[in-house]
Chain A
Amino acid sequence: MADPGPRREVRVVGRVLAVNERMAEENRRRFRERGVFVVNVMSSPGSGKTSLLQKTLQALASRVSAAVIVGDVATTHDAERLAVTGVPVVQVNTDAFGGDCHLAAHVIEKAAENLDLGAVELLFVENVGNLVCPAEFDIGEDVRVVVLSVTEGEDKPVKYPAMFRSCHAALLNKIDLLPHLDYDKARALAFLHQVHPGMPVFETSARTGEGLEAWIGWLLEGLERKRPRASR
């Protein structure tokens, strides 16, 4: 091929995800105006996110008006499971045939249009089950939590440091199964705290309800901290 000639370098300097980041800030502003505390829940598939949310919503029912946006690549199964708690649930399918691996800010903006935000105090976003991609996408949340379960490898935190560093708290779920497993909990917690020193960890069992109180207490504290700023 012939030499296409001299090149000119043009400085660009910009975040690749600038559009998502702007939209996330816009979401954050809107949620703040309405006084909605937003919790982005992430995990690998099968860690028990949906069961955990089900139990959390049931426990919060008399205290807080909550809502859920649930993201899945396909199916509405999770939304159906969450709807039995009586809270408004918006299902987002990123694609019917294997689409996006995360929820982006514009998806949350659209999904939130289906909710009466003025009547919502606590909004859970159940992200797509994936420990890589969702870490990179701000959706306008107040806090991020990551769920890991004792049926996974103890080294999840060191395999996915970006995710574990970006989250404010972790839930170690399915602890009712510990007697039946060789899971080394101390090792898992050591890994977690070497990646994210000081990260609060709640040991829970969605099945038995064990440990849910501490997690719910943490949520309510966050909610309280947000409230004064939102009050008129």
Chain B
Amino acid sequence: MHEMGIALEILEITQASIPADLPTARVARVNLRVGKLSAVVPESLRFCFEIAARETPLAGAELAIEEIPVSARCRACGERWTVTEPVFLCQACGGGDLEILSGRELDIVSIEVFDGAGGENG
């Protein structure tokens, strides 16, 4: 669905992040964090990324997705837990005033570039 748009954003950000001393470097891997509560399907994102990356320095790069679980804190009793089902009620006191601590991520963490002009000796 919107994974292609997200793949294009990732390409844009990563291309801008290739170090200035390695302008022609190939990117080996992009490390991404995707929260379970974000509306992204990792499988379709990988697929879109692969297509969008063709003929860019990211062609063939691996998109490594770390899925981040949803964790919450109850503002009433302070309980912290990992939300594994779509139930956003405190497991200790039943309260519904929660702070979502993680699970909304859609972040690029790092890129890994081949150090050296990449594949020249290949």
Contacts and interface: CB of A to CB of B under 8 A. Distances in A.
Nearest to A14: B108
B89 interface: yes
Contact of A5 (B32, B111, B115): B115
B6 A10 contact: no
A101 interface: yes
Contacts of B119: 1-2, 4
B56 interface: no
Contacts of A165: 37, 88, 100
A9 B106 contact: no
Interface string A172-211: 0000000000000000000001111110000000000000
Contacts, number: 124
A13 B9 contact: no
Contacts of B40: 136
Contacts of A17: 6, 9, 106
A4 B112 CA distance: 12
B10 interface: yes
Interface string B102-122: 000011111111111011011
A159 B19 CA distance: 42
A153 to B, nearest CB: 14
Interface residues of A, number: 41
Given A4-B28, A197-B89, A133 B114 contact: no
Interface residues of B, number: 45
A204 to B, nearest CB: 24
A13 B108 contact: yes
A159 to B, nearest CB: 8
B107 A10 contact: no
B114 A13 contact: no
A10 B13 contact: no
Nearest to A101: B1
Given A136-B38, A161-B86, A162-B37, A5 B116 contact: yes
A7 B6 CA distance: 25
Contact of A8 (B6, B12, B106, B112): B112
Interface of B: 1-2, 5-6, 9-10, 12-14, 17-19, 22, 26, 28-29, 32, 37-40, 86-89, 95-98, 100, 106-116, 118-119, 121-122
Interface of A: 1-2, 4-19, 100-102, 104, 130, 132-133, 135-137, 157-159, 161-163, 165, 193-198
8 contacts: A5-B116, A10-B111, A17-B6, A101-B2, A162-B38, A163-B39, A197-B88, A197-B98
